[in-house]
Amino acid sequence: MARAPKVLPGPAKTKGFVQAAKGVHVYVGGNGATNFGLILTKEKPVIVDNDIRVRKEFLAGAHKLARKPVGLVLNTHHNFDHTSDNGYYHERGAVSFGVDLITQEMEREEKAGIWVKQMAGRGPDVTPFIGKLHIAPPQVTFEEMITIRYGGRTFQMIYIDHCHTLGDSVVWMPEERILFTGDLVDNRTLPVNRLGNFANWIAAMDILDMFPAKRLVPGHGPLPSQPKAAIKEGREYLLHLRDRTQAALRKAKTPEKAAPLVQMPEYQRWYRYGNVGVNALKMAQELKGKKK
């Protein structure tokens, strides 16, 4: 019988602002909650992602570091916990950027009436916003890539593929060599894949690995010290999930019966360990060639 795999180390318990490089700050959500970037420039600061539910905590720290209102908002993907405060910044004169699929996906969720509601029970309470908060899609959109030169810095937003969501992009700062991966990498935090595609996601890890990054800022989980190690860990999780789900499908035939057979005990110290079952079910459906 195969020995049980060794339990992997858990994430560092960081929460709040940490510095990734000179003038490049990251608000780490803690406990696997969403991370946000705050980049100081010669003009106003630039932020990567936002969430209305943590506006207070984020801005309290941001004001101390920046002392100016936000100039640009860069969205890595459409999820509520990365874009729900776009409107607040728009009203205060900021300009937002994102891949055009973000707009499409936000509009779909708004139309279906799930934009806010689907967050119920996940993280900070959304009840006060139901029926009150509407989508505020990025004002400047692009298909493949956009280069933004602002305040003495360069930001490249690059569409990767349909992985975690339909429209996943990264923010690359080529001069500082910092890569904001959005939820394509969740450091020592199990990913969420309600709308995604695992096969594309596995392939995307090789694309991320090609960036000569000095620092990697994950969508969730603490900042890793080694970008390549974080990408490798993320890829290995996806490969283990695929291989074990494949094996379970050989025994159980249907995704619903196979998913509960998938065990990932070595990840028990990672945040969102409870996602093992839902991820196995999504993987099983994908391997069986069914739509979500």
Judged by the rule CB under 5 A, the positions of this chain that interact with Zn ion are 81, 183, 219
Q: Which residue lies nearer to Zn ion by CB, 98 or 219?
A: 219
For the bound state, the minimum distance from the C-beta of residue 82 to Zn ion, rounded and expressed in Å, comes to 6
Q: Which is nearer to Zn ion, 26 or 258 (CB)?
A: 26
CA distance 270 to 12: 10
Closer Cβ to Zn ion, 182 or 227, answer by number: 182
Helix (H) or strand (E) holding 66: helix 55-66
Q: How far is the CB of 58 from Zn ion (least distance, A)?
A: 15
DSSP 5: P
For residue 200, the minimal CB distance to Zn ion (Å) is: 17
> What 8-state DSSP symbol labels residue 171?
E
Residue 195 half-sphere exposure toward CB, CA atoms < 13 A: 19
Cα 247 to its chain centre, rounded Å, is 28
Backbone angles phi, psi at 214, to 5 degrees: -90, -35
Task: Name the residue among 28, 209, 192 with its Cα closest to residue 37.
Answer: 28
Phi, psi of 75 (to 5 degrees): -105, 125
* Other beta carbons less than 10 A from residue 100's beta carbon: 15
Query: Both tokens of residue 97?
Result: 């950027």
Question: Minimum CB separation from Zn ion for residue 7, in Å?
Answer: 25
Closer residue to Zn ion (CB): 81 or 176: 81
Whose CA is closest to 46, among 22, 62, 57? 62
Cβ proximity to Zn ion: between 81 and 105 the closer is 81
For tokens 């429209």, name the residue: 167
Kind and range of the H or E run holding 248: helix 227-252
**29 vs 71, which CB is nearer to Zn ion?**
29
| Least distance in angstroms from the C-beta of 175 to Zn ion | 26
In the numeric block, which tokens belong to residue 178?
């910092």
Q: Quote the distance between the C-alpha of residue 120 and its chain's center.
A: 18
Q: Which residue is nearest to Zn ion (CB)?
A: 183
Nearest approach, Cβ of 184 to Zn ion (angstroms)? Answer: 10
Nearer CB in complex with Zn ion: 219/224: 219
Smallest distance from the beta carbon of 103 to Zn ion, in angstroms?
A: 18
